[in-house]
Chain A
Amino acid sequence: KNQVEQSPQSLIILEGKNCTLQCNYTVSPFSNLRWYKQDTGRGPVSLTIMTFSENTKSNGRYTATLDADTKQSSLHITASQLSDSASYICVVSGLSGGYNKLIFGAGTRLAVHP
């Protein structure tokens, strides 16, 4: 069964600290992996997208890694800010029936405290 598991479910860190969020998936065949940021009461917004051949991609203070062999991805946030408080969703795209099917993780809820 195609699944995307994220950990931890929730995380609290102090402003200025770094953190790493994890995503494990069993989606096969794999097409690409995306990370989205979802602020409370808003829709998700794309942070990064990585294909099979990419193992790291950065977007400002956000750096995503991908290990396609172990089917794991991480999102590292550097020097956290209060505005980083949000849910972070891992989404894996796999080919199913000839089209890309998106499997969404349940998300990690991050709270950055002053």
Chain B
Amino acid sequence: NAGVTQTPKFQVLKTGQSMTLQCAQDMNHNSMYWYRQDPGMGLRLIYYSASEGTTDKGEVPNGYNVSRLNKREFSLRLESAAPSQTSVYFCATRHQETQYFGPGTRLLVL
């Protein structure tokens, strides 16, 4: 039972490059979320998916797209990376009132 897994753990991109962050869960939870965490700030919601087949914008969606491929997987795509997207990205699921976070992906955009 791995919980929430994220790949890659670390990535370096050049400005303008694209990439997809992967997230998978084996807890059979309906809701999944993508957050970014920056120094001195609280986690901010990028996108979320209340159930398979639905996605909604969060607080900071600009520059990102998401895909809820199935109940297990929720990916985050950066089409044209910018230095402002340097951050640590966390995927999470929710069951009742508790969120379960993955280990994070540390992204550096040069």
A interface residues, Cβ below 8 angstroms from B: 4, 32, 34, 41-46, 49, 89, 91, 93, 102-107
Contact = CB atoms under 8 A, between A and B. Distances in A.
Interface in B94-110: 97-104
Interface of B: 4, 40-45, 90, 92, 97-104
B104 A49 contact: no
B104 A106 contact: no
Contacts of B40: 106
The 9 closest A-B pairs by CB, nearest first: A43-B101, A104-B42, A104-B43, A46-B98, A106-B42, A44-B101, A105-B42, A43-B90, A43-B102
Contact of A89 (B42, B45, B103): B42
A53 to B, nearest CB: 14
B101 A45 contact: yes
Contacts of A32: 97
A93 to B, nearest CB: 7
Interface centre among A41, A43, A89, A104 (most CB of B within 10 A): A43
B71 to A, nearest CB: 20
A104 B104 CA distance: 17
Contacts of B103: 41-43
A103 B44 CA distance: 8
8 contacts: A32-B97, A43-B92, A43-B103, A43-B104, A44-B43, A102-B99, A103-B42, A106-B41
Given A45-B101, A49-B97, A105-B42, 18 more contacts: A4-B42, A41-B103, A41-B104, A42-B104, A43-B101, A43-B103, A43-B104, A44-B43, A44-B99, A46-B99, A49-B98, A102-B99, A103-B42, A104-B43, A106-B40, A106-B41, A106-B42, A107-B42
Nearest to B42: A104
Contacts of A45: 101
Nearest to B6: A43
Contacts of A41: 103-104
A91 B45 CA distance: 13
